[in-house]
Amino acid sequence: MTDSREPVAVAIDGPAGSGKSSVSKQAARRLGYGYLDTGAAYRALAWHVLSRGAETADADVVVAATEDFDYAISLDPDRYWVRVGETDVTDAIREPRVSAAVSGVARVPEVREAVNALFRSLVAAADAPGVIVEGRDITTVVLPDAPVRILLTAAPEVRAARRSAELSGEDAGAVAAALHQRDASDAKVVDFLNAAPGVTVVDSTELDFAQTVDAVLDVVRAGTGAHRDR
Give the residue numbers of the binding site for ATP.
Answer: 14-22
Which residue, 71, 99, 127, sits at the end of a domain? Answer: 127
142 belongs to a structural domain: yes
| Each residue's pLDDT tens digit, 150-208 | 999 988 888 877 776 665 555 556 655 666 666 655 555 555 566 778 899 999 999 99
Instruction: Say yes or no: 135 and 24 in one domain.
Output: yes
Provide the domain limits for residue 137.
7-33+131-230
Evaluate whether residue 143 is within a structural domain.
yes
Q: In terms of domains, do 78 and 139 share one? A: no
Last residue of a domain, one of 127, 154, 169: 127
Tens-of-pLDDT digits for all 230 residues of the chain? 334 578 999 999 988 778 899 999 999 999 999 999 999 999 999 999 999 999 999 999 999 999 999 999 999 999 999 999 999 999 999 999 999 999 899 989 999 999 999 999 999 999 999 999 999 889 999 999 999 999 999 888 888 777 766 655 555 566 556 666 666 555 555 555 667 788 999 999 999 999 999 999 999 999 887 655 65
In the chain, how many domains are there?
A: 2
How large is the greatest C-alpha to C-alpha distance in the chain, in angstroms?
Answer: 58
Known binding positions: 14-22
Is residue 137 located within the same domain as residue 155?
Answer: yes
Same domain, 173 and 192: yes
